[in-house]
Chains A and B, each alone.
Chain A
Amino acid sequence: AQSVTQPDIHITVSEGASLELRCNYSYGATPYLFWYVQSPGQGLQLLLKYFSGDTLVQGIKGFEAEFKRSQSSFNLRKPSVHWSDAAEYFCAVGISNFGNEKLTFGTGTRLTIIP
């Protein structure tokens, strides 16, 4: 069965600083990888996804992520964070041909932004 590990439970970053959130997955075949963001009291919103092709994917809100097969990683990055980026971030892996039928989510990383 597939699994996702987000090793950082909580990260604090200064506004304007760069950000990298880690995600490692375990799956025998080519995974479908996603990053979702959840603001307090809200549902999850898709930031970006990787299905195939270019291993560096761009998403909304200035986020990007890089798929590294050799490291089984899909880390999320942003060059300069804004206070509005404070939220919880979830990495997820899908296993079906269409990728979204049985998503397995990581436990999330809570991002705090300090002025």
Chain B
Amino acid sequence: DAGVIQSPRHEVTEMGQEVTLRCKPISGHDYLFWYRQTMMRGLELLIYFNNNVPIDDSGMPEDRFSAKMPNASFSTLKIQPSEPRDSAVYFCASSLRSSGKNTGELFFGEGSRLTVL
């Protein structure tokens, strides 16, 4: 069974360019999370969706960041315009909360390493 799939794995871009990161969650999962990992700040939750609806985007650093989930099998995180301080590894994770049961487990993708020059 395929896990969470992220693309691209690596992205190098110049300041001011638009960056789009993509995520395909595990089929059937109803939660999707975007995290950012840096040396200075560790793992930060940016936004999460439940059944494709954004629930909490309080972790999104600023208006340059946006995320969408047009359907249950696809999500994007967009940065426009990008800045050097956005350089980080961005992780997508999904999880399942079925009625009366919760595994509590987040399944992470392998991450997208973004470098903004």
Contact = CB atoms under 8 A, between A and B. Distances in A.
A45 B91 CA distance: 12
7 residue pairs, one from A and one from B, having the closest CB atoms = A43-B108, A105-B43, A98-B102, A107-B42, A99-B104, A44-B108, A46-B105
B55 interface: yes
Contact of B104 (A34, A44, A104, A107): A34
A101 B32 CA distance: 9
Contacts of B4: 43
Nearest to B9: A41
Chain A interface, DSSP helix/strand/loop, else mixed: loop
A19 B69 CA distance: 41
24 contacts: A32-B104, A41-B110, A42-B110, A42-B111, A43-B91, A44-B43, A44-B91, A44-B93, A49-B104, A98-B97, A100-B31, A100-B95, A100-B102, A100-B104, A100-B105, A100-B106, A101-B50, A101-B55, A101-B56, A102-B48, A104-B45, A105-B42, A107-B42, A108-B43
Interface of A: 32, 34, 36, 41-46, 49, 51, 90, 94, 98-108
Interface of B: 4, 31, 42-43, 45, 48, 50, 55-56, 91, 93, 95, 97, 102-106, 108-111
A85 B43 CA distance: 21
Chain B interface, DSSP helix/strand/loop, else mixed: strand
B104 A94 contact: yes
Contacts, number: 58
Contacts of B43: 44, 90, 105, 108
A51 B109 contact: no
Given A98-B97, A105-B43, A46 B110 contact: no
A42 to B, nearest CB: 6
A98 B102 CA distance: 6
A102 B93 CA distance: 12
Contacts of A43: 4, 91, 93, 108-111
A104 B55 CA distance: 16
Contacts of A105: 42-43
